[in-house]
Amino acid sequence: MVEGTVVCALNIAVGISRRWYKVSRQNSLWKSADFSGDSRLNLRQLTAFIKSPLSAKVVQLRLEGYVVRSSRTYSLSTITNHALVLMTRKMENLRSLTIENANISNVAFKHMPKSLERLCLTGSIIGYCAMDDLANPAVLPRLRHLNLDYVHNLSSNSKSFQYILRKGDLVRLEVRHCNGLSNRDLMKISDFLVNLRVLNVSEIKFLNDNVLKSIARLKCLEELYMAFTGISDEGMHCLAQTESKLALLDVRGCPRITGKSLIAASEIKSLRELWILRFMVGCDAARASLKESNGLLVILDEVGALWLLGGSR
């Protein structure tokens, strides 16, 4: 009886092992690895994963860390230079790396995997001179998408943003709520990042019409997010007078934007989506008139935008 039970257990174990082997061989199942929220890893666990054969199949890796790092949470550090070097050696297919809400002030960008095309550091704390490594063309040579939303210590006081501007091949840049950036630096975007298709400078409270007028010179720009900034009808009028490929424009919560801006924006032939908020002065009347005269332009308020983001996108 005991012998039969042992044989049965062995057969089950062999069956599970075979199935797991088949699963591990399916590359498509391991293209994306998400270690955020309840699934986030400490440094030891992450290192073990990188060293495992499965990591070689990963194309997109998402990690979440701990912004406030004390002596108790030091052992839970998400990323180190050593871990990045391991990624370079073990994860040859890695194209997208997300490190959210992590204290990575000790990390040097020169150790980032050279294969990366997308780097997202939303809500993380970077070193004061972390971006200096971008001055070297050999650092992140394939980078096309850089997301630095809510990286609060990204500042014009250092030369960090100037080094970002050297990445002329960027097609998407997101610096939402980076209030340390000066308008002078933001105005340089149109001179250096001429290939940008998507730009998010929302929630930068001192951003004004001068920045918008300079951004209007970006010929390849398709999506522009400037919600909750200081732009006005004057800047919008300037934007409407330029030839562009702009298809989506977000001006939600801009107190100096009125219905006149909606009318001006409708002159942009390529524009298909315009995001506003209901309380914006004169926007309801302008929206109603444009609904009849311009059927191609969809004007979304906060309710419509949430439905679109949650439903069709």
| 298-300 β-sheet, strand order | 32-35, 60-64, 96-100, 118-120, 145-147, 172-174, 198-200, 223-225, 248-250, 273-275, 298-300
What is the pLDDT, as a whole number, of residue 306?
Answer: 45
What is the pLDDT, as a whole number, of residue 27?
Answer: 59
What is the pLDDT, as a whole number, of residue 82?
Answer: 93
Name the pLDDT band for 262 (thresholds 50, 70, 90): confident
What is the pLDDT, as a whole number, of residue 263?
Answer: 87
Encode pLDDT of 18-41 as tens digits. Answer: 544 454 555 566 799 999 988 888
What is the pLDDT, as a whole number, of residue 166?
Answer: 93
Name the pLDDT band for 236 (thresholds 50, 70, 90): very high
Query: Average pLDDT in the 103-113 region?
Result: 91
Encode pLDDT of 178-226 as tens digits. Answer: 999 999 999 999 999 999 999 999 999 999 999 999 999 999 999 999 9
What is the pLDDT, as a whole number, of residue 309?
Answer: 45
Burial (CB count <10 Å: 0-12, 13-18, 19+), residue 138: exposed
User: How far is it, in rounded angstroms, from Cα 290 to Cα 261?
Assistant: 12
Q: Report the 10 Å Cβ neighbour count for 17.
A: 10
Exposed e or buried b for every residue in 253-273, given b needs 16+ CB within 10 A?
A: bbebbbbbbbbbbbebeebeb
Q: Report the 10 Å Cβ neighbour count for 213.
A: 19
User: How far is it, in rounded angstroms, from Cα 87 to Cα 59?
Assistant: 11
DSSP β-bridge partners for residue 249? 224, 274
The pLDDT mean for the chain works out to 84
56-60, 140-144, 267-271, 287-291: range with lowest mean pLDDT: 287-291
Whether the predicted pLDDT of 177 surpasses 60: yes
**pLDDT above 90 covers what percent of the chain?**
54
In contact, 211 and 181? CB cutoff 8 Å? no
What is the pLDDT, as a whole number, of residue 296?
Answer: 75
Whether the predicted pLDDT of 303 surpasses 60: no
**pLDDT above 70 covers what percent of the chain?**
80
With CA atoms as reference, report the closest residue to 215 among 239, 250, 241.
Answer: 239
Residues 6+ apart with CB under 8 A from 28: none
User: How far is it, in rounded angstroms, from Cα 29 to Cα 266?
Assistant: 44
Name the pLDDT band for 286 (thresholds 50, 70, 90): confident
Give residue limits of the domains in the chain: 1-28
Burial (CB count <10 Å: 0-12, 13-18, 19+), residue 53: exposed
